[in-house]
């Protein structure tokens, strides 16, 4: 097997995970949790989103979280930003990196952002420009790359069009999202086969949800094809409010378990990570879905 | 990707799944469930085990189940048999195929069977001989191929020794079990790389438990290397009484979801299979772990 020696995991639980929870986790618990995550060896934590509290009430305290957490050397603290107002708040809060987002599906983009893809780009271009002027790197999420709850299959040329536009506005890394967890290994191989002829593997990350349980199989394929950056969420937290039935992100704990078993270095301490998963599980008062967490509980 | 056009799934839920449940499912519900499984397009169902009720009380009604179920043309109804007494009962019940079992780990074998591996072989040789005299094929399970809860890693030469002995006594297919769900894709690739130089792929099946969530990734690797037969359990039922913390088998519903998404034919009707998973879930009164089942419930 052609596997890399090292992989970067971008922890998105505090943002992508919590944004879907009905229960509002108190700010002090979020801070405590993110500090635990910072101590696991993770080098990237998307800690919140500077979006309107009307859209995502669960993340209304982004500024207070940014202020309260320890900013550990060597860890990038990123936040999602939808527009200029969000960027201003993110810069005030001294984030290390800004993430922008849009969908490869016109319908999903409209449901999620209330704009067409082209209209969204005009906003994102300003955000990216402003962030870079302030000395920040910008990451771009593309949703529904492998399937849309409204449109079904998304043509690869649509995905390429969105990636091109993101790279043009100076995005440093594009994270390709399987928002509803329908990607299969053959599809991942076929998609990457096309994309990696156009873009260097360092410019792409993969972001799998685990609705069908195929996330680790998909990651395996991507690893073999040269992708070395993956988004994940402790305990398998997450979902999508505009994608009914979708499960959470691939669980960071399951991902590092597979990677470490294959002698792939992540720098993450597995027992500390499981502790942090248990912590947020207890605060949410519900069983999270990661296999590793379930196995430890029996 | 080098994937086969067709895969055979051997449904082991009624045996490997139910044997670990504390709740005794009434015989009539088992019969109803197995009849539902027979109507899904599955071609192989291991419906019970003819073991002492003292060992596995949950399967004490094997003979009544064999008598009660519809024997659908084109479906092989198999049962696990540990010894001569079990074989007699299985033959009386007109099973289509007999399964025997032992472990690649001396310690696990002693805990599970109360005999050494060599002593077990003497018993299995008689069972295989008797079954073949009665015109039945014999399948062989090897447990703990990818790791043992007591011994840790099992040397591949130990696995080969057990496979050799099974083939010598006329076993038609050897099912390699990841009893505690610790196999990783690299290990599966390395193991099959050695074994497939010695044995034709048709003589091997793989049997993954999903403790670490890696079962589908492991199956993907095995598919690419030429394996076309996999054991699975509806809803992800299962576990191992002598392997603490182990999860159930890979879920048949998740497996066919991945295979069908990759255009690999199984002959199984997905909605009917999900219905049968819901049926047994309701009878057991607890949430089963398959991703597909969980996604359908939300």
ipTM of the complex: 0.95
Taking an 8 Å cut-off on Cβ atoms, the answer to whether B212 and A263 are in contact is no
Decide if A75 touches B, using CB distance below 8 A: no
Taking an 8 Å cut-off on Cβ atoms, the answer to whether A185 and B296 are in contact is no
Which among A117, A55, A18, A68 is positioned nearest to A242, based on CA atoms? Answer: A55
* DSSP tag of A1: -
Of B138, B145, B188, B240, which is the active-site residue? B240
User: Residue A287's pLDDT is what?
Assistant: 84
Query: Quick check: B221 and A216 CB within 8 A?
Result: no
Q: Is A178 on the interface with B (CB under 8 A)?
A: no
Chain B closest CA to A219's CA: distance in Å?
A: 9
Q: Which residues of B touch A265 (CB under 8 A)?
A: none
Query: Are residues A214 and B216, on separate chains, in Cβ contact within 8 Å?
Result: yes
Pick from B184, B261, B298: CB nearest A245:
B298
pLDDT in tens, chain A (298 residues): 899 999 999 999 999 999 988 889 999 999 999 999 999 999 999 999 999 999 899 999 999 999 999 999 999 999 999 999 999 999 999 999 999 999 999 999 999 899 999 999 999 999 999 999 999 999 999 999 999 989 999 999 999 999 999 999 999 999 999 999 999 999 999 999 999 999 999 999 999 999 999 999 999 999 999 999 999 999 999 865 555 566 899 999 999 999 999 999 999 999 999 999 999 999 999 888 888 887 755 4
Tallying the residues shown for chain A, one arrives at 298
Whether residue A291 and residue B184 make contact (CB cut-off 8 A), yes or no, is no
Structure token digits, residue A205: 């990350």
- 3-class secondary structure, B177: strand
**Among A217, A233, A241, which would you mutate to test the B interface (most chain B Cβ atoms within 10 Å of its Cβ)?**
A217
Partner residue facing A212 (CB), from B212, B220, B258: B258
B295 has pLDDT over 80: no
Query: Does residue B240 have an active-site annotation?
Result: yes
Contact B272, B232 (CB under 8 A): no
**Which residue among the candidates A37, A98, A180, A240 is catalytic per the annotation?**
A240
According to DSSP, the residues that pair with A177 across neighbouring strands are A207
Look at residue B298 in the predicted model and tell me its pLDDT.
Answer: 41
- With 0-12 CB in 10 A as exposed, 13-18 as middle and 19+ as buried, what is B114? exposed
Question: What's the pLDDT band for B289 if we cut at 50, 70, 90?
Answer: confident
Contact between B250 and B233 under an 8 Å Cβ cutoff? The reply is: yes
Establish if B127 touches chain A: CB-CB under 8 angstroms: no
Partner residue opposite B291 with nearest CB, options A220, A247, A292: A247
CB pair distance less than 8 Å for B212 and A289: no
- Separation CA A115–CA A92 (nearest Å): 26
Q: Helices A117-133 and A84-92 meet at what angle, rounded to 10?
A: 30
Out of A184, A219, A298, the one facing B258 most closely (by C-beta) is A184
Decide if A212 and B261 are in contact by the 8 Å CB cutoff.
Answer: yes
Would you state the CATH architecture of domain A8-297?
A: Alpha-Beta Barrel (3.20)
The C-alpha R_g of chain A, in whole angstroms, comes to 17
How confident is the model over A224-276, as pLDDT tens digits? 999 999 999 999 998 655 555 668 999 999 999 999 999 999 999 999 999 99
Q: Are B215 and B208 in contact (CB under 8 A)?
A: yes
Query: B259-277 pLDDT, tens per residue?
Result: 999 999 999 999 999 999 9
* pLDDT at residue A298 in the model: 41
A·B CB contacts under 8 A: 115
Handedness of CA B110, B115, B119, B122 (dihedral sign): negative
B3 — phi, psi (to 5°)?
A: -120, 150
CA angle A65–A279–A238, rounded 5-degree value? 70
Contact A91, A134 (CB under 8 A): yes
- Whole-angstrom distance, CA of residue A56 vs CA of residue A244: 16
| DSSP string for A174-219 | EEEEETTS---HHHHHHHHHHHHHHS-GGGEEEEEB-TTS-HHHHH
């Amino acid at each position: 097997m052609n596997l890399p020696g090292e992989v970067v995991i971008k922890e998105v639980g505090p943002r992508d995970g919590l944004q879907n929870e009905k229960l509002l986790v108190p700010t002090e618990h979020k801070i405590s949790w993110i500090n635990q995550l910072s101590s696991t060896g993770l080098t990237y934590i998307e800690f919140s989103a500077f979006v309107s509290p009307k859209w995502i009430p669960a993340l209304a305290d982004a500024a207070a979280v940014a202020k309260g957490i320890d900013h550990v050397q060597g860890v990038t603290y990123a936040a999602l930003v939808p527009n200029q107002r969000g960027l201003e708040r993110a810069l005030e809060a001294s984030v290390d990196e800004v993430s922008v987002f849009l969908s490869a599906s016109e319908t999903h983009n409209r449901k999620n952002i209330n704009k067409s893809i082209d209209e969204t780009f005009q906003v994102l271009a300003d955000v990216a420009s402003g962030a870079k002027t302030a000395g920040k790197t910008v990451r771009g999420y593309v949703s529904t790359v492998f399937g849309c709850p409204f449109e079904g299959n998304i043509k690869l040329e649509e995905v390429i069009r969105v990636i091109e536009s993101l790279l043009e506005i100076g995005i440093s890394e594009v994270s390709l999202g399987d928002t509803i967890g329908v990607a299969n290994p053959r599809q991942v191989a076929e998609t990457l086969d096309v994309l990696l002829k156009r873009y260097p593997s360092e410019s792409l990350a993969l972001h799998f949800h685990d609705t069908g349980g195929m996330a680790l199989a998909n990651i395996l394929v991507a690893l073999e094809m040269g992708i070395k950056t993956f988004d994940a969420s402790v305990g398998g937290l997450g979902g999508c409010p505009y994608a009914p039935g979708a499960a959470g992100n691939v669980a960071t704990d399951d991902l590092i378990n597979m990677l470490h078993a294959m002698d792939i270095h992540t720098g993450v301490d597995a027992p500390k990570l499981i502790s942090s998963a248990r912590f947020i599980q207890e605060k949410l008062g519900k069983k999270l879905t990661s296999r590793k967490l379930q196995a430890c509980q029996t």
